[in-house]
Amino acid sequence: MNSLKRKILLPVFVLVTCLPSMAQVNNDETLLTIAGKPVNVSEFLNIYQKNNVKGEPIDKKSLDEYLELFINFKLKVKEAEELGLDTVTTFKNELNGYRDQLAKPYFTDEATLNRLIAEAYGREKWDFRASHIFFKLKPDATPEDTLVAFNKATSVRDKLMKGESFETLAVEFSEDPSAKDREANQQHQFLKGNKGDLGFFSVFDMVYPFENGASNTEVGQVSKPVRTEYGYHLIKVTDKRPSLGKVTVAHIFVAIPKNATAADSVRLHKRIDSVYQKLVAGTSFEDLVKTYSDDKGSAAKGGVLPAFGVNRMVPEFVEAIYSLPNIGDCSKPLLTSYGWHIVKLVEKKTNKPIEEEKAEIKQKVLKDNRGEQTRQVVIARIRAEYGVVENAEALKDFYKVVTDSIFFGKWKVSLADRLDKQIFKIGNLTYRQKDFADYLSATQKKQEKQQINQYVDKMYNTFLDESLLKWENSQLEIKYPEFKALMTEYRDGIMLFDLTDQKVWSKAVKDTVGLADFYQKNKNSYKWETRLDASIYTVKDPKMVQKVRNFVKSGLSDADLLKEVNTDSSKILTIESAKFSKKDNKLIDSIAWTPGFTNDVKINGNIVFVNVRKVLKPMVKELSEARGLITADYQNYLEKEWIAALRTRYPVEVRREVLLKIK
Distance CA 273, CA 279 (A): 10
Q: Is the pLDDT of residue 537 over 50?
A: yes
Distance CA 485, CA 102 (A): 12
Beta bridge partners of 14: none
Mean pLDDT of 185-207: 87
Among 33-47, 92-106, 153-167, 239-253, whose mean pLDDT is lowest? 33-47
Distance CA 611, CA 553 (A): 9
pLDDT of residue 49: 77
pLDDT of residue 62: 76
Three-state DSSP class for residue 330:
strand
- Angle (CA) 84-90-91 rounded to 5° is 50
Q: Is the pLDDT of residue 296 over 70?
A: yes
pLDDT of residue 2: 44
Distance CA 627, CA 636 (A): 14
Q: Is the pLDDT of residue 183 over 90?
A: no
Mean pLDDT of 266-287: 95
Q: Nearest CA to 312 among 473, 204, 462? A: 204
Beta bridge partners of 390: 424
Cα–Cα distances in angstroms (integers) from residue 1 to residues 5, 95, 98, 530, 632, in the given order: 6, 21, 21, 33, 12
Distance CA 63, CA 58 (A): 7
Three-state DSSP class for residue 530:
coil
pLDDT band (50, 70, 90) for residue 186: low
For the chain, the distance separating the N- and C-terminal CA atoms, rounded to the nearest angstrom, is 38
Distance CA 123, CA 202 (A): 7
Q: How far is CA 498 from the centre of its chain?
A: 26
Q: Is the pLDDT of residue 9 over 60?
A: no
Cα–Cα distances in angstroms (integers) from residue 586 to residues 268, 527, 637, in the given order: 72, 22, 36
pLDDT band (50, 70, 90) for residue 662: confident
Q: How far is CA 325 from the centre of its chain?
A: 35
Burial 480-508 (b: 16+ CB within 10 A, else e): eeebebbbbbbbbbbbbbbbbbebbbebb
pLDDT band (50, 70, 90) for residue 8: very low
Reported as type and span, the H/E element at residue 246 is: strand 246-255
Mean pLDDT of 13-40: 67
Higher pLDDT, 342 or 659: 342
- Residue pLDDT, tens place only, 548-581: 999 999 999 999 999 989 977 778 999 999 999 9
Q: Is the pLDDT of residue 536 over 60?
A: yes
Distance CA 593, CA 601 (A): 16
Distance CA 303, CA 68 (A): 69
- Residue pLDDT, tens place only, 34-79: 999 999 888 888 888 777 655 566 667 778 888 999 999 999 999 9
Distance CA 265, CA 272 (A): 11
- Angle (CA) 17-22-23 rounded to 5° is 155
Three-state DSSP class for residue 385:
helix
Amino acid at 25: V
Question: For helices 41-51 and 481-500, what crossing angle results, to 10°?
Answer: 70
- Residue 412's CB is within 10 A of a number of other CB atoms, namely 12
Three-state DSSP class for residue 37:
strand
Mean pLDDT over the full length of the chain: 91
Three-state DSSP class for residue 328:
coil
Radius of gyration of the chain (CA): 39
pLDDT of residue 491: 94
Contacts of 130 (CB under 8 A, 6+ apart): 198, 201, 214, 217, 235, 236, 237, 238
pLDDT of residue 54: 54
- Residue pLDDT, tens place only, 431-456: 999 999 999 999 999 998 989 999 99
Beta bridge partners of 539: 573, 607
Domains in the chain and their CATH numbers? 126-242 (3.10.50.40), 246-349 (3.10.50.40), 387-476 (no CATH), 527-620 (3.10.50)
What backbone phi and psi angles, to 5 degrees, belong to 26? Answer: -90, 125
Mean pLDDT of 628-654: 95
Three-state DSSP class for residue 526:
coil
Q: Nearest CA to 526 among 518, 538, 537? A: 518
pLDDT band (50, 70, 90) for residue 18: very low
What backbone phi and psi angles, to 5 degrees, belong to 490? Answer: -65, -45
pLDDT of residue 3: 42
Among 41-45, 587-591, 607-611, whose mean pLDDT is lowest? 41-45
Beta bridge partners of 639: none
DSSP label at residue 83: T
Mean pLDDT of 158-185: 93
Length of the chain: 663
Reported as type and span, the H/E element at residue 423 is: strand 422-426
Higher pLDDT, 44 or 82: 82
Q: Are 221 and 128 in contact (CB under 8 A)?
A: no
Q: Nearest CA to 472 among 461, 488, 483? A: 483
Mean pLDDT of 413-430: 95
pLDDT band (50, 70, 90) for residue 139: confident
